[in-house]
Amino acid sequence: MEERQRRALRRARPRLVATLRVAPLWQPLEDRGLFTRPMVEELQSAGSRGEQARQLVIDLETRGKRAFPVFLSILRDTGQGDLADVLTEECESPLAPPRPVDLRPVELDLRGEKHNRRWGCSSGQRQRGVGVAPGIPLAWGVVGDVLGFVYELKADPCGHCLILNNVNFIRDSELSTRHGSNVDCEKLERRFKALCFNVLTRRDLKAQEMLSELQELARRDHGTLDCCVVVILSHGCQTSHVQFPGAVYGTDGKPIPIEKIVNYFNGSNCLSLRGKPKLFFIQACGGDQRDRGFLVDCDSPGDEAPGGSLESDATPFRPPPGTMDEPDAVACLPTPSDILVSYSTFPG
């Protein structure tokens, strides 16, 4: 989509949110190829009519060159030509000239040899002062640096998404059933399908079965894809580690260190994912400590959320004798490149 078209959508967004009738748009948007069925369902679940309209206008900016003219055509076909005219006028209106900005190099006072070495400046530079981004506006220098670190996610499909959802655990494990996990799992499936991922969900796996699924995913050829996502919904605990704290349980009560899972996908073990983002979302407790929250004023006893149990779903950890590792200590080695591990709870 061209920048002037994006600008038109942004300028007209308040009116679109206030008056756009979204119900007649869903089928034409799918039939014309702007959105897939999972994407439409995700938009429909956004909330009220206005919230659906707001999210639709935002998502339109990401749907390619055809999105704007096709959207105008659909608006006219569904009797909303007045909104199509507003967007056309906004698109054709000239851009206001930019206001002049006084950009000046910033003088850095770098005193002391230790400070000088930290920032990599020579003694001569330190003595005469250093200008930030000399010769070019500071804003453009910052933008250029940022663009050099942006991942391109243009493949279709974008990548594989593996969801491991453990709800029911064997009795000997002494781990309770994770009520509500299926709701989270279904929302995750819809979200990542809407983001053009190939989603595979496995439920109630023992520890070795979980490892087999993860190893199979790591062995796949990701050469034509741009990203890889792993989501684990289970009980958790603390464990000794070097970089990534915590562990997750299989349904048989056996823990799997997060660090072991992540290492299957690092640059040494999964060559086709080198330089590509690898995202891990861990929905599990990080230990046996309980956060009991704080008291708030309630209008009535009915305000209490159902199922508000304070029971922990993790088991305590005791370091093995002779180990030097601190449980859930701060990572002491560099994190492998292009990897993000996101935890739903703090360690402990």
Q: What is the pLDDT of residue 202?
A: 96
Catalytic residue among 235, 237, 241, 270: 235
Which positions ≥6 away from 286 have C-beta within 8 Å?
Answer: 236, 237, 238, 245, 246, 314, 328, 343, 345, 346, 347, 348
Q: What is the pLDDT of residue 304?
A: 45
CB atoms within 10 A of CB 145: 10
Contact 116, 110 (CB under 8 A): yes
Residue 235 designated active-site: yes
E strands along 92-196, which residues?
Answer: 107-108, 130-131, 159-165
Residue 332 and residue 343: Cα distance in Å, rounded?
Answer: 18
**Ordered structural domains, the chain, with CATH:** 3-92 (1.10.533.10), 107-139 (no CATH), 159-290+311-343 (3.40.50.1460)
Torsion sign (Cα): 118, 119, 125, 126: negative
Rounded to whole angstroms, what are the CA distances from 297 to 89, 153, 303? 50, 46, 10
Q: Residues 300, 301, 303, 309: what is their CA dihedral angle, to the nearest 10 degrees? A: 160
* Burial label, 269 (beta-carbon count in 10 A; 0-12, 13-18, 19+): middle
Of the CA atoms within 13 Å of residue 186, those in its CB half-sphere come to 6
Q: What is the pLDDT of residue 347?
A: 56
Q: What is the pLDDT of residue 291?
A: 44
Residue 57 and residue 9: Cα distance in Å, rounded?
Answer: 7
Q: Mean pLDDT by 10-residue block, N- to C-terminus, for the chain (348 residues)?
A: 84 89 91 87 86 87 85 92 89 68 59 40 38 43 56 90 95 89 93 94 95 95 95 87 84 91 90 92 67 49 43 43 44 61 72
Residue 201 and residue 273: Cα distance in Å, rounded?
Answer: 21
Q: What is the pLDDT of residue 214?
A: 96
Contact 317, 237 (CB under 8 A): yes
- Measuring CA to CA, which residue among 178, 157, 114 is closest to residue 314? 178
Phi/psi at 346 (5° precision):
-75, 150
Task: Please tell me the total number of residues recorded for the chain in this structure.
Answer: 348
Residue 158 designated active-site: no
Q: What is the pLDDT of residue 57?
A: 87
Rounded to whole angstroms, what are the CA distances from 194 to 2, 46, 86, 110, 161? 23, 13, 29, 50, 12
Question: Which residues lie across from 203 on neighbouring strands?
Answer: 165
Of the CA atoms within 13 Å of residue 184, those in its CB half-sphere come to 19
Q: What is the pLDDT of residue 147?
A: 53
